[in-house]
Chains A and B, each alone.
Chain A
């Protein structure tokens, strides 16, 4: 193991290397390009013994790793924004075919208008394909989660998406402790598929399945994706024992005795930590809940943690048009049909890469403090010409 200073994209590349992937197929797109560049260099130099498949689109990239994964190879791809949207059809395929592919998505806003900066609408639009979705806060978490993702995916035969913010992580250098494949093997053993494509034993994969059985196959996906909650916890525990780092599947930060809990994901979490510290210093009973898993959704953990609060504030760097932030929707749904009665304030911030500064987070908390219950589905923070949406 060694500590190096790398950007988030290279943390993805080093993670794929530590996972000793067999096949990489990817198409470059800002802000993901460095992931692919580094991996192609590693393949060219022989540092990583993997087949690097050049493709002409993200649809083909995902299709290529579907093929290689079906043939029993540990397979990886990476993309962003429009690229992920182009993959959408094959994302469904990878789930239905039960292929443990890992995909890194750099969160980037969707066009038009053209925008290369971060928000979560690209990955959250893949909500129902059945992949795991793992959101990361730091470059170290990106590296470590790459290994978690391969292990859990291969246990379940379901693909994973690991997600990091454009530029705030992708292009920002941090100290990352990386390991090579030999060191990582204790955590992630070689992939041994039960079924795989082989010319010696031809089989048909994914062919016509009647209503007699299709229904059960979908049931299995739902059942197995839920199992990922326990498996992620198991992975996190094992990883901590081996390498000394742990993230949990949901993180509570200074939530003891908190009246208000702020829920975040991605790099907004880091900013929110400093705000919570400042507000705690002046005696405010505010805590932070970091969401790492979006799929499977940690419903029980969410209920367990949020039931203690008087107010829940969700900061969404995304928008479900006409209904509100997507994390807020999921959290509200998790709390329904329970005896938990806590108001959930949904705030939108930082879409299209707009900076979510400590001041913005303080403004959100301040606004929520001054209301008993929300009077709107959603509050857009910092919209110019605010009186339309913003009551105080």
Chain B
């Protein structure tokens, strides 16, 4: 008891003077119980698993919290800070965020793709635009070669920081694989074009129809302060068998280009698609939309297919036939036109470098399949000959370090031309990372700061606070019910569905102002002001009830005196 209090101590003369219960006259703030503490709790926000799962580190938890307050514009602007293409990614991404979502360990993961798509489309519907927010840079400018997702991501972040950016795109339109590879039923062109228009609207010079190395001399790039190569993969890998030049045999990418251009190549009654990746699925599903019987022939099994699981399931639902453990070894022709293939049965042997079991031919198992066309989607190759003497290449791919730096100090690279066939979100991530690095380098400062926080795990989540609930599913339109067979298959969320789904977000590792710590602190040592909680260590006894109760593992602890 403090001295002051001792002096003013109430004196009781006898039992009749006394109150019936021990109740203090004043408050107990003189009793600084913090001295009893040997463990110190502290607020320590962590990274949500969804964010850690996204190659671009999109702040999914953050934008969901804003969406809960219906601050959709703020939410989408937060999203753009890591990924400028939510309408695209909400539709075509393989969503590793959802795979990582901790909610999946309680009931079902959050349907992040549909939420992301809702936000992206909100920006489009509301004509949200962006401007550069960095100071204009007195600079010779930045050149970007290739206007696919990687190049556009890099160009966007450089332009946002105030750099003059010029994008060279060999084709007529920007978008790369999004424009010429991914069919309309997955990614409608008007959505893509609007999202790209917003990106270029930040302020950049776009030169379409400019193929660097053919229309533009490679040497011209030297006049820029820095250059970013993101040409992607241009060519389908050939099978290397006889008669591959027969009429009716074509590269999967060429077929997709004809489809996306609205002028699809006639495939006849039957088509065989070779391959098990996303391009093969796009080819097969586009072909079946033209009324062709489609059979995918893949040399391994379904388990080894690199395609997104959803795409395979939808292809099957739409009637694409699959033949696993088979590979074409010859092409039959008549009058220079394909009539069928000779296929060989395979079996799985030892694992190869990719960890997948290697397909091994089964002797004497060859058989014939009749077909009117053969679409080859067994991998894509780069087209980097023009850069052979400028940057170091390996198997046709540009060699870079982690930040995108090539062997030439002024040249950086990203996207599939660096990684080989990868994903849209990885290309976007590399584009942004390289932009941050190039900016730091041009300004002569040390590389961009990294803010690596601990990733939260399910063991940090207090399950008691989360009642099991079902995911709000994405609606799919069956092919048989479509008038326009290239209309979008997956339907987006309305606001109600989006709100219903984001309510399920546990905000793992990040405080969302739920008040649980504040309510539970037995010493009233936690105060709350403007949604910020503060622990008063004069009174915190270190009971750790706050940390135990926190539904989302925000509060960490350390031993006093360490």
Of B16-24, B96-104, B336-344, B397-405, the one touching chain A: B16-24
Are A202 and B27 closer than 8 Å at their CB atoms?
Answer: yes
Q: A209 with B22: in contact, given A216-B15, A219-B15, A220-B15 (CB under 8 Å)?
A: yes
- Looking at the assembled complex, report how far the CB atom of B525 sits from the nearest CB atom of chain A, in whole angstroms: 13
A157 contacts partner chain B, Cβ-Cβ < 8 Å? yes
> With A97-B21, A157-B20, A204-B31 given, can you name 11 additional A-B contacts, CB distance below 8 Å?
A98-B20, A157-B21, A202-B28, A203-B25, A204-B23, A204-B27, A205-B22, A206-B23, A207-B22, A213-B22, A224-B20
A217 contacts partner chain B, Cβ-Cβ < 8 Å? yes
* Residues of A participating in the B interface, judged by any CB pair closer than 8 Å: 96-98, 157, 195, 201-207, 209, 213, 216-217, 219-221, 224
- Looking at the assembled complex, report how far the CB atom of A203 sits from the nearest CB atom of chain B, in whole angstroms: 5
Are A204 and B28 closer than 8 Å at their CB atoms?
Answer: yes
The chain B residue sitting closest to A220, CB to CB, is B20
- Looking at the assembled complex, report how far the CB atom of B190 sits from the nearest CB atom of chain A, in whole angstroms: 50
Chain B contacts for A219, CB-based, 8 A: 15
A-B contacts, 13 listed (Cβ < 8 Å)? A96-B21, A157-B21, A195-B23, A202-B29, A203-B24, A203-B27, A204-B23, A204-B28, A206-B23, A213-B12, A213-B22, A216-B12, A221-B20
The CA-CA distance from A93 to B379 in the complex, in Å, is 75
Are B24 and A204 closer than 8 Å at their CB atoms?
Answer: yes
Query: What are the 10 A-B residue pairs with the smallest beta carbon separation, nearest first?
Result: A202-B27, A204-B24, A98-B21, A216-B15, A204-B28, A209-B22, A98-B20, A203-B24, A195-B23, A220-B20
The CA-CA distance from A213 to B22 in the complex, in Å, is 9
Chain B contacts for A206, CB-based, 8 A: 21-23
The CA-CA distance from A35 to B29 in the complex, in Å, is 41
Chain A contacts for B21, CB-based, 8 A: 96-98, 157, 195, 205-206, 217
Are B18 and A216 closer than 8 Å at their CB atoms?
Answer: yes
The chain A residue sitting closest to B15, CB to CB, is A216
- Looking at the assembled complex, report how far the CB atom of B16 sits from the nearest CB atom of chain A, in whole angstroms: 9
B355 contacts partner chain A, Cβ-Cβ < 8 Å? no
The CA-CA distance from A98 to B23 in the complex, in Å, is 11
B residues 65-91 near A (Cβ < 8 Å) are: none
B26 contacts partner chain A, Cβ-Cβ < 8 Å? yes
Chain B contacts for A203, CB-based, 8 A: 23-28
Chain B contacts for A97, CB-based, 8 A: 21
The CA-CA distance from A203 to B25 in the complex, in Å, is 7
Chain B contacts for A217, CB-based, 8 A: 18, 20-22
The CA-CA distance from A202 to B28 in the complex, in Å, is 8
Chain A contacts for B14, CB-based, 8 A: 216
What is the total number of residues of chain B having a CB less than 8 Å from a CB of chain A?
A: 17
- Looking at the assembled complex, report how far the CB atom of B346 sits from the nearest CB atom of chain A, in whole angstroms: 58
The chain A residue sitting closest to B24, CB to CB, is A204
The chain A residue sitting closest to B14, CB to CB, is A216
Chain B contacts for A209, CB-based, 8 A: 22
- Looking at the assembled complex, report how far the CB atom of B441 sits from the nearest CB atom of chain A, in whole angstroms: 56
Q: A205 with B23: in contact, given A216-B15, A219-B15 (CB under 8 Å)?
A: yes
The CA-CA distance from A201 to B26 in the complex, in Å, is 8
Are A213 and B18 closer than 8 Å at their CB atoms?
Answer: yes
The chain A residue sitting closest to B17, CB to CB, is A216
- Looking at the assembled complex, report how far the CB atom of A207 sits from the nearest CB atom of chain B, in whole angstroms: 6
The chain B residue sitting closest to A209, CB to CB, is B22
The CA-CA distance from A195 to B19 in the complex, in Å, is 10
B residues 252-309 near A (Cβ < 8 Å) are: none
Are B18 and A207 closer than 8 Å at their CB atoms?
Answer: no
The CA-CA distance from A213 to B20 in the complex, in Å, is 11
The chain A residue sitting closest to B20, CB to CB, is A98
- Looking at the assembled complex, report how far the CB atom of B518 sits from the nearest CB atom of chain A, in whole angstroms: 12
B residues 505-562 near A (Cβ < 8 Å) are: 524
- Looking at the assembled complex, report how far the CB atom of A217 sits from the nearest CB atom of chain B, in whole angstroms: 7
Chain B contacts for A204, CB-based, 8 A: 23-24, 27-28, 31
The CA-CA distance from A219 to B26 in the complex, in Å, is 25
B residues 1-52 near A (Cβ < 8 Å) are: 12, 14-15, 18-29, 31
Chain B contacts for A205, CB-based, 8 A: 21-24
The CA-CA distance from A95 to B524 in the complex, in Å, is 25
The CA-CA distance from A132 to B485 in the complex, in Å, is 80
- Looking at the assembled complex, report how far the CB atom of A25 sits from the nearest CB atom of chain B, in whole angstroms: 16
Chain A contacts for B15, CB-based, 8 A: 216, 219-220
Chain B contacts for A221, CB-based, 8 A: 20
Chain A contacts for B20, CB-based, 8 A: 98, 157, 217, 220-221, 224
Chain B contacts for A195, CB-based, 8 A: 19, 21, 23
The chain B residue sitting closest to A96, CB to CB, is B21
Chain A contacts for B24, CB-based, 8 A: 203-205, 207
The chain B residue sitting closest to A156, CB to CB, is B20
Are B18 and A220 closer than 8 Å at their CB atoms?
Answer: yes
- Looking at the assembled complex, report how far the CB atom of A325 sits from the nearest CB atom of chain B, in whole angstroms: 33
The CA-CA distance from A220 to B16 in the complex, in Å, is 9
Chain A contacts for B23, CB-based, 8 A: 195, 203-206
Chain A contacts for B31, CB-based, 8 A: 204
Chain A contacts for B25, CB-based, 8 A: 203
- Looking at the assembled complex, report how far the CB atom of B469 sits from the nearest CB atom of chain A, in whole angstroms: 19
- Looking at the assembled complex, report how far the CB atom of B21 sits from the nearest CB atom of chain A, in whole angstroms: 4
The CA-CA distance from A201 to B23 in the complex, in Å, is 12
- Looking at the assembled complex, report how far the CB atom of A179 sits from the nearest CB atom of chain B, in whole angstroms: 31
Q: Indicate the member of B18, B22, B27 with the most A CB atoms within 10 Å.
A: B22
B residues 375-397 near A (Cβ < 8 Å) are: none
- Looking at the assembled complex, report how far the CB atom of A168 sits from the nearest CB atom of chain B, in whole angstroms: 37
- Looking at the assembled complex, report how far the CB atom of A377 sits from the nearest CB atom of chain B, in whole angstroms: 38
Tell me which of B12, B26, B28, B29 contacts A207 (CB under 8 A).
Answer: B28
The CA-CA distance from A201 to B25 in the complex, in Å, is 10
Chain A contacts for B22, CB-based, 8 A: 205-207, 209, 213, 217
B residues 112-171 near A (Cβ < 8 Å) are: none
Chain B contacts for A220, CB-based, 8 A: 15, 18, 20
The CA-CA distance from A81 to B19 in the complex, in Å, is 34
Chain B contacts for A216, CB-based, 8 A: 12, 14-15, 18
Chain A contacts for B524, CB-based, 8 A: 202
The CA-CA distance from A340 to B26 in the complex, in Å, is 53
The chain A residue sitting closest to B21, CB to CB, is A98
- Looking at the assembled complex, report how far the CB atom of A37 sits from the nearest CB atom of chain B, in whole angstroms: 21
The chain B residue sitting closest to A99, CB to CB, is B21
The chain B residue sitting closest to A206, CB to CB, is B22
The chain B residue sitting closest to A203, CB to CB, is B24
The chain B residue sitting closest to A205, CB to CB, is B23
The chain A residue sitting closest to B464, CB to CB, is A56
The CA-CA distance from A213 to B17 in the complex, in Å, is 11
The CA-CA distance from A97 to B27 in the complex, in Å, is 17
The chain B residue sitting closest to A208, CB to CB, is B22
Chain A contacts for B27, CB-based, 8 A: 201-204
